[in-house]
Structure 1
Amino acid sequence: MTMFSSYGRVLSHPGALAFCSSALVARLPASTVGLGIVLLVEHRTGSYGLAGTVSAAYVLAQAVFALVHGKLIDAFGQWRVLPVAAAGFTASLASMILSVENDWPSALTYLFAALGGSFAPQIGACVRARWSHVLTSRREVQTAYALESVIDEFVFVVGPVLVTTLATLWQPAWALALALTLGLVGTVSFAAQRHTAPPARRRSSGNDVRPPMDWAALAPLAVVGLMQGALFGVAEVATVAFADRAGSPGLSGPLLAMWALGSMVGGLVAGTLTWRRGPQVRVRVGMVALTVLMVPTILVSSTWALGAVLLVAGLAIAPTMIATLTLVELCVPAARLTEGMALIQTGLVAGVAPGAAIGGVLVDSHGPSAGFAVGVAACLLGAAAAQLLRPRRRSEADAVS
């Protein structure tokens, strides 16, 4: 257990365990809402294409407004922005559920889904900014980021199983409503813990100038996030369809959970290691590994084989994301850290939208394997973008961390 003592050290900081725990609950919608929308719409209409495009409307709006949320949070503070966002998020998606259940015009369904995405609280960016504020050691910050990646994946293990189980045994609408309720409670609890939050950095005069972003480093990272998001979007729809066509629709959640479990294990181990290479190199290697490991998803024909492939492929996800966010933390000024983290989230979420939409159309016409093929192509493009990360002379961003 001494191998994991570094996690205990970061959690022992005053207030860390409390805000980390509430953030865990707050991010449950991240792993349940997209899948919940697919299950709900497909259950009512029978179309994966329609389900994918409604989900795409949600995630596209989330991507568009993520950077706005980051700027507002940096300027006004987490405790002011997050509760308002959570309230709008819950109300909008509750209206979307009513629209689908009552067969309202599809335009309203798209509108409410997009409104929900526009209000989605940026919990992942906020909790990582909070860790960067609370901790002073660079090594501990990376350990905390690894912990958050593990928690992210834990949520993606539990969330899909929870929503698909409730949708199968109960109703998709109630499963989605429960996820929204938990997210609201967790977000309000997280925001209320003001003593560990970074200070608001609202400019007091017109002469203040925001420190510049290192766009040469951030732009390729945003593309990497975009392609990872496309993979997540198409894989979600393709996995649901794969399980359905195999005659076991209830296995879609567990299959996605296997993918997340692999990522969780990879992240857990990554947080305990002392790396010999810097985060820039780890991003490059991680994207190549993810590309190679996702290829077998195109070829498998049984749910058990798909679960095994997704488990192994997941091992590359969290370590790559940890390296990505570590590089962001090194490149972004403290006064714009939430904005920088939100930029990567914007890429991730923006990729989910076309991934889900294109995947839904191809799955309807050519089957799940075609959807997974799109995911592999997205990984390949992400690996190419990672190679474009700006080479640096010996600096903090290239140092082992």
Structure 2
Amino acid sequence: MSVAGYEDLLNGPVKKYLELSQKIGGDVAAHSKLVEKALQIQLQFVQKAANRSAPANQSEQVSLLAPMSAQIQQIQEFRERNRGSPFFNHLSAISESIPALGWVAVSPTPAPYIKEMNDAGQFYTNRVLKDWKEKDKIHIDWCKAWVQTLTDLQQYVRQHHTTGLVWGKTGIAPVGIPPPPPPSMPIEDVSLVINDDRSALFAQINQGEDITKKLKKVTSEMQTHKNPALRAGPAPFKAPAVTSIKSVLPANAPIDKPSVFTRDGKKWLVEYHKGENLVIDNVEMNNVIYMFRCQDSTLTIKGKVNSIVMDSCRKSSVVFDSLVSSIEFVNCQSVQMQVLGKVPTISIDKTDGCQMYLNAESLNVEFITSKSSEMNVMVPKANGDYSEYPIPEQFKTTINQNGLNTTAIDSLG
């Protein structure tokens, strides 16, 4: 089923993307041939996984991943060799998002990784849409086809490889090898890699209006999109050797990198902060906030944004007005959030300790949790106090004539 599902993907949006690339021609057509080869390599990898057991060790897995890693590198190097191309934004859209194929080495949640790479590529597809919407509709269709390709890939992985690549004879996913990191994004004032080989401020979250005191503010002089003097061209991507792949660091690992607080297009990057209060107040609804490996820090977001991701943070808090889609906690320890407006979805994965303060507008929120503990929801009461409810961590499963029946076990203490 997993092989057939991947073949359906190739015969659907991938085929459309390839056809449109050939119609556009030039560098786009040549680039698409490299992408097609990468997808075929991945199909062969999925077929192989369906008929064998998982690699016995890291060395064997690295060897299996080598052809795919090399092909991804070729795709990205093609962009770097053709920086003067009239289709540079097309090439960049593919190069920034093609690391999504590294989902085969991600566990236990490969689907969100694909979405992150898809979002990274849309920074450039939006540029293509802007440049070509009045000139040639085929470029608009091309963007839609590629975005749909990665969207369908995410759905395929969510259906067939929910917690990581499934190996035919063992049914388990390899652990400890992250996918090839994405290329450096063209951030004007600093070169970053979002998926780098990468949290007691809880009293502060209940301060009310006082929480905004002593906050750092991003001024217009600090914003690269308003200050051309701060801009610098993107650094060429250099793919690391396969043998240099490192394990993903846990949330309690020491922070030994310089802090990052910047904006790249629709993305705000808040990384490696320790013991700080930060604020973002000039946001737009399509903005995405990514908070990575912060400790003992509080981030306040004023205005409505699309989504927030708190990744590998420890003893940290986030306060925000409203979200269009969701807030995600991944690999965190002892974190808190407070919504002042509305939030549709809260996703918690591999997180120990998550305190969520809701607002009256957000009582219809949906919680999606996996491999997490100590999750508590604070629901506002009419008198202004909160009622605390724990999200179940234990479940009881019984067998009946229709299969399995699973119910949550309420906490008794």
- Taking structure 1 as the reference length, the TM-score comes to 0.27
Please tell me whether Structure 1 or Structure 2 has the larger radius of gyration of its CA atoms: 2
- Taking structure 2 as the reference length, the TM-score comes to 0.26
In terms of fraction of residues, the more strand-rich structure is 2
Greater length-normalized contact order (CA 8 Å, ≥ 6 residues apart):
1
In terms of fraction of residues, the more helix-rich structure is 1
